[in-house]
Amino acid sequence: MNCFEARQAFVAFWQRTMPLEHRAAFGTHLQFCQRCNRSFRVFALSAPVLHSNADSMAGTPPRSRVIVLPLRAPREGDSPSFARRSWWALSAAGAMAAAVLAAYVMAARPSSAYVLERTITGDDSGIELTSFTTGGELFEPDTAAQDSNHLILQETPLTPRDDFAG
Amino acid sequence: MPLALASKLRFGSPAVRPDEELIAEVLAGQTAAYAELASRYRDKVERLCRRFFADSEIVRDLAQESFIRAFTKLSTFRAEMPFGAWLRAVVTNVCYDELRRRQRRPEDLVADFSAPEYTWAQLVSEATPEEIVSAAEQRQEAVDLAHRLLDSLRPDDKTVMILKEAENLSVAEIAQILGWSEAKVKIRAFRARQLMRKRAEQILNTRRRRAVR
């Protein structure tokens, strides 16, 4: 076995898919080739994640196996993660309701600062708007999700080679 | 016909419905069909998520997020592509987004191993190849250290590394999933390999330095 063949065989050796006689040759080569030996050790540090073929290698399985499904059929314009966003929407609605209530109270009982400002400017059109500025960031778009949305919409067929493709 | 095969044909489980049929049902409003679809791919989805993240909670959340995103985008699925390949692209993008959200400084990740990780690094440095493979099957710290090594890469590099090495995809397939040019994938893959080697050498040398002290 030469160096090229040995390096090609790292994965098969790790996954124990290599025939016994090849394993012996592989072991012998690594014993006498310092560069391949070192490369194998470097490979072995990442192999438990990159080349594991058994689920048990990856640690304890997730505790819950419940899949939460939306209760309606998907539509074209659906957000990529509307479950998460709906939670944000509820929070945002709550914050907005609180802001509206605060604005209402302020409008009903004007403070001295409010009266002073109104006296100076003669215009109170901006007063209510200031009550809503704190909730603005809740509605910022999820940029990371948007970046990758187009990736899901690929229409050209892939040619999968492993079992993930079913 | 062999007896075993005959009995299987007579009493075996009912015929497996194709993915496309289930997808059509989901799109027609029968959302219950999606549960069957999800159960078929749950293990594979979780396995791919585990390549990206070590934490079980994160893996569970990402698997769930992937299924939800796949559900909401199901109307964009085209039948000329296998559902599994399409779903893999969805999962990859969910994990990639999460990687970018959780981006950390590489130097924090390679330093300060736990004691079991240190022991594992020592074993990798000194044991025979056969011993390393046997030990890796029983040690969680081997997985932890491998994740630490992968976490030291940038999200782009890590994603390419996982798709190329673990999922065994071609450059063209990776480019298609991530929406990048093939040249970019090649550059990232080259760079990721170089960085991985550098970090791995760093880990092995750290062990040596400590041993000298």
Domain boundaries, chain B: 17-102, 104-213
Fold category of B17-102 in CATH: Rna Polymerase Sigma Factor; Chain: A (1.10.1740)
pLDDT digits (tens, 9 = 90+) for B137-176: 888 889 988 888 888 888 999 999 999 988 889 999 999 9
Contacts of A160 in chain B (CB under 8 A): 82, 84-85, 88, 169, 173
Lowest mean pLDDT among A37-41, A139-143, B36-40, B83-87: A139-143
Q: What is the pLDDT tens value at each position of chain B, 213 positions in all?
A: 444 444 444 444 556 888 888 898 888 888 888 998 899 999 999 999 999 998 888 999 999 999 999 998 888 888 778 899 999 999 999 999 998 888 765 555 556 778 888 888 888 888 999 999 999 888 888 998 888 888 888 899 999 999 998 888 999 999 999 999 999 999 999 999 888 888 888 888 775 555 544
Which domain range does residue A125 map to?
82-138
Cα separation, A48 vs A30, in Å, equals: 20
- How many structural domains compose chain A? 2
In a domain, A22, yes or no: yes
A79–chain B Cβ distance below 8 A for any pair: yes
Query: Is residue A45 included in any domain, yes or no?
Result: yes
Across the interface, do B143 and A27 touch by the CB < 8 Å criterion? no
Q: Which residue has the higher pLDDT, B61 or A106?
A: B61
Domain B104-213 is of which CATH architecture?
Orthogonal Bundle (1.10)
Measuring CA to CA, how many Å separate A67 from each of A163, B60, B137, B162? 22, 9, 29, 25
Q: Give the Cα separation of B102 and B88 in Å (integer).
A: 21
* Selection from B24, B65, B31 nearest residue B48 by Cα: B65
Check residue A64 and give its pLDDT: 41
Which residues of chain A neighbour B145 with C-beta distances below 8 Å? 45, 48
Measured between CA atoms, how close is A149 to chain B, in angstroms?
Answer: 8
Residue B30 CB: number of other CB atoms within 10 A?
12
Helix B140-151 × helix A34-50 angle, to 10°: 100
Cβ–Cβ gap A57/B38 under 8 Å: no
Whether A115 shows a pLDDT value over 60: the answer reads: no
Structural domain includes residue A8: yes
| Residue A48 · residue B143 · CB < 8 Å | yes
* Predicted TM-score (pTM) above 0.80: no
- The two three-digit tokens of residue B174, written as one number: 């990776």
> Backbone phi, then psi, for B2, in 5-degree steps?
-60, 150
Of A123-127, A134-138, B66-70, minimum mean pLDDT range: A134-138
How many residue contacts between A and B have a Cβ separation below 8 Å? Answer: 223
Please report whether residue A20 resides in a domain.
Answer: yes
Structure tokens at B83: 């559902």
